[in-house]
Chain A
Amino acid sequence: MASPVLPSTLAATAAQLAAGQLSAVELTRAVIARTKAVEPRLRAFNSFDESDALAQAAAADARRAAGQGRGPLDGVPIGLKDVIAVKDQPLTASSRMLANFISPYDATVTTRLRAAGAVLYGRLNCDEFAMGSSNENSAFGPAANPCDVTRVPGGSSGGSAAAVAAGEVLAALGSDTGGSIRQPAALCGVVGLKPTYGLVSRYGLIAYASSLDQIGPFGRTVEDVALVLQAIAGHDERDSTSFRTEIPDYRAELAARRGPWKIGIPKEYFGEGLDPEIGAAVDQAVAYYRSLGCEVREVSLPHTPYCLDTYYIIATAEASSNLARYDGIRYGHRSQNAKDIVDLYFQSRAEGFGAEVKRRIILGTYVLSSGYYDAYYLRAQKVRTLIRRDFLEAYREVDALLTPTSPVPAFKIGEKSDPLALYLCDIYTIGVNLAGLPAINVPCGFTRGGLPIGLQLIGQPFREADLLATAHAYDRAHDWNQRRPNP
């Protein structure tokens, strides 16, 4: 069966919907058909609810017919990573612990997408509790890379990246704690934005590491990502860490902000371990920015070597506490073999959590323990301050930083069995989370083997409009995003 292929971009689809050339129900039917055609090989979704999606689509069509359309997202199916709460839908975090959990409430981003008219479609696969870089830590089996289904889509938001790349949805939301949006976007060849920490509410996002987690959009183009960001950005009184800031019209700013920009190349991001094909593709992108009249200069982020260690102390410390609530008492997996209350905790968590989650809980518990706190957690927080200072120092000279997103292209499922080898996939993305900055992956080529390559642009705090415009300048002039994998 030939799988139906969706319109190329969210922006184009929105135009067709607005012009009445396409109905939301037709679009959603096409999305469902595409999902059914590719899912046996991709496993990008943990679940999807056909009838619920069609009902939302019908409501969107009725609004439009009544002249009450809600803008470009109205009637557009958007997938949500399975760590973002949607009322009355499963919320599993790809974990046995929450395999049967149905959320009784909406995350703030969910509420905002509903307000924009989006058709909330499906629960996207990911690494368990967003911990991982390959999607292989999903308790329900790894999603596959649409460009080569024997390879990983990256992680943790692997399902989100794969679904957008394979045309199962026009856009998706993921979450990024150490690279979990940008790295899978790079490995699948789509655009993925991690906003500034505090731009998008975390209310209703299953917490992995609260001081690093941020929800962000995936799309085929920078413009599509701008459209989704528009709907979800902005202060939320349910999240104390969300920031009060003016939200510009991101799409309008794409054209309005034309540069030329001063672009910094952090020398620490081009060292050992970088795949030469990726290095070459990124060099090409740098050359393109030069051709636009941008000044490109080398900068230094001297604390980069400490990013990985710092991240694995802070993230696991927070995770060990955040995941304590999964105890089998109020909801979630409860062991049937427990003798008493303490045993109930041990058994339920032993049965409910996968190996990587346990590894991080144990690590985080250790670094917070009495006698170790100062040496690990407190010191990591100090280093974190230095890492952020490196970036802010660089921004005195340049507008944005340009780096590879991932040191390697998509690897084979099962290829990297050593956790440390997997942790190294995030070396170019983790610093951004520690510094709380916005960063975006933009497709910038393919390996000779046909695997996508992504470049990362890192912006300044709460200046997503500038970052998106910088990314758009490259993206609109290249056709990497036109390639449509057909798994």
Chain B
Amino acid sequence: MQYEAVIGLEVHVQIKTASKVFTRVAAGYGHEPNTLTDPVVLALPGALPVMNKAALDAIIKAGLLLGCEIAPVCKWDRKNYFYPDSPKNYQISQYDLPICRGGSVEIELPGPARNLMGEHKCIPLTRIHLEEDVGKLNHGAADSLVDYNRAGTPLMEIVSEPALHSAEEAYAYLTSLRATMIYGGISDCDMEKGQLRCDANISVRPVGETKLGTKVELKNLNSISFVRDGIAHEIKRQIGVIERGGTIVQETRDFDGMTGTSQSLRSKEEAHDYRYFPDPDLMPVVVDDAWKQRLQAECPELPFAKQRRFLEQYQLPYTLTSVLVWDRALADYFEEAARLSGKPQAVGNWIVNDLLREVGHARIALTASKVRPAQVAELVQLVDAGTVLANAAKEIFVEMFATGEAPGAIADRRGLKAAPTDSGELEGWCRDAIAANPKALAEFKGGKESAINAFKGPVMKAAKGKANPKLVDETLRRLLAAI
């Protein structure tokens, strides 16, 4: 029998704000335990929450980027449950009036080949709401310690519809969602730091069946690859259980990405009654059009839109765009260099092949590179004009990356420029080259355009690599035409 998986993802994204969501104390990661606290974070007697407007801005912006409907009025609810990582023993969250409803995440599935675009889909969202993060428990042999540094960090919960059907789709969904959040400056989404966390609800059913199967919640998926592996593993496990005549138990399972196995955490979910009610300490917030418009103006073009534009406007090959658009800084870098040089494809090649390689070797961020877009543009123009030859350009690029010096200056200093013009010698070398290769001549005359390249090597050799390739090409063509 053929089976279909049905997957819904609940993604928690920490919002990048200077201070916590309900108080002024700083938000952050990697600090001494319990140093990012104050009476509000620790839930001391008498402390009260006050909404951080920057966190609200961020979630509204996230909603706008994902095409959600923004609630005109939103309120805050208390979700009551006891756990030591939750200082108040209730979490301030949003119950029946989430700030964002609907919307979708556009995804791209793997294409038939690396250089071909894959199928695009829009995965619908149920809602996005704002809540506060909890602290962290550290269990020792004799005791358990709590660190409240993370408690009160603004957190978005992004809930998808159960509309994903494979591990690959889940992977694509998270990749796209993560890029969107980073693009919008909403979060850095560093999964190692817990800035993006994902739980997956997975069920399987025979193809054609419309009723959902029993779902299993998969937790602790702490990298995007683990999400894919965990879901693939769970789908296989469920199908295995069904095919052996068993039934799926509703449970929460923990996936271990290192071993690729999962085990049950809770076999039957305890019936939680969170006793939600509106938080009387916080006033409802009215989100008017002016507020939305201000944030809409700050919304950047998203990766897929940018990719469509790059394909159209710059006529770039798909493979280049699929590298360039996923990092906003890289895409901006490219556009700047393309604008300055007027040679988008060449610039794209230099950036994707050379710049990214060097940046990778040096283990630095693109923004830390000494090579700026203007220098890439200059180098591309030098090559295009024939002033610098391809091999020399590669050398220049490596030096430019190390020193930040302008490419023209490097070429001058190191004598890497091709001879600017040539009247006497070049024509002679070209004649010699043509005369030495009658086979290529015949081919060229027979209409094989690329046969011209066979003459260029000998000419360059005679010129000791310093001939202007553009001029070589022109000269050869002129001579060939006259034969």
Q: B-contacting residues of A (Cβ < 8 Å)?
A: 83-85, 91, 93, 98, 101, 103-105, 107, 202-207, 209-211, 237-241, 317-318, 320-321, 324-327, 329-331, 341-342, 345, 365, 368-370, 373, 377
**Interface CB pairs A-B, < 8 A, 10:** A83-B45, A91-B45, A91-B46, A103-B45, A103-B46, A207-B48, A209-B280, A241-B280, A320-B80, A329-B84
- Is the beta-carbon distance between A239 and B273 smaller than 8 angstroms? no
Closest 8 CB pairs of A and B: A324-B89, A368-B275, A211-B280, A210-B280, A204-B46, A325-B43, A206-B45, A370-B273
> A93: which B residues are within 8 A, CB to CB?
45
Q: How far is the CA of A373 from the CA of B95 in the complex (A)?
A: 14
- Is the beta-carbon distance between A105 and B44 smaller than 8 angstroms? yes
Partner of B277, one of A206, A325, A377: A377
- Is the beta-carbon distance between B89 and A240 smaller than 8 angstroms? no
Which chain B residue shows the least CB distance to A370? B273
- Is the beta-carbon distance between A240 and B43 smaller than 8 angstroms? no
Partner of B275, one of A101, A203, A369: A369
> B3: which A residues are within 8 A, CB to CB?
none
- Is the beta-carbon distance between B87 and A325 smaller than 8 angstroms? yes
- Is the beta-carbon distance between B47 and A203 smaller than 8 angstroms? yes
Give the dominant DSSP class at B's interface: loop
> A318: which B residues are within 8 A, CB to CB?
280
Given contact pairs A104-B39, A241-B281, A330-B87, A324 touches B45 in the complex (Cβ within 8 A)? no
- Is the beta-carbon distance between A240 and B45 smaller than 8 angstroms? no
> B87: which A residues are within 8 A, CB to CB?
325, 330
- Is the beta-carbon distance between A321 and B90 smaller than 8 angstroms? yes
Given contact pairs A240-B282, A369-B273, A101 touches B45 in the complex (Cβ within 8 A)? yes
In the complex, B42 has a CB within 8 A of chain A: yes
Q: A-contacting residues of B (Cβ < 8 Å)?
A: 39, 42-51, 78, 80, 82, 84, 87-90, 144, 146, 273, 275-277, 280-283
CB proximity of B421 to chain A, nearest CB, Å = 73
Q: How far is the CA of A85 from the CA of B47 in the complex (A)?
A: 9
> A241: which B residues are within 8 A, CB to CB?
280-281, 283
- Is the beta-carbon distance between B275 and A345 smaller than 8 angstroms? no
Which chain B residue shows the least CB distance to A85? B46
- Is the beta-carbon distance between B146 and A240 smaller than 8 angstroms? no
With a 10 A CB-CB cut-off, give which of B45, B47, B89, B282 has the most chain A CB atoms: B45
- Is the beta-carbon distance between A205 and B277 smaller than 8 angstroms? no
> B46: which A residues are within 8 A, CB to CB?
83-85, 91, 103, 107, 202-207
> A239: which B residues are within 8 A, CB to CB?
48, 50
CB proximity of A207 to chain B, nearest CB, Å = 7
Q: How far is the CA of A210 from the CA of B273 in the complex (A)?
A: 22
CB proximity of A220 to chain B, nearest CB, Å = 28
> B51: which A residues are within 8 A, CB to CB?
240
Q: How far is the CA of A98 from the CA of B90 in the complex (A)?
A: 20
Q: How far is the CA of A239 from the CA of B49 in the complex (A)?
A: 7
> B144: which A residues are within 8 A, CB to CB?
341
- Is the beta-carbon distance between A240 and B90 smaller than 8 angstroms? no
Q: How far is the CA of A317 from the CA of B283 in the complex (A)?
A: 18
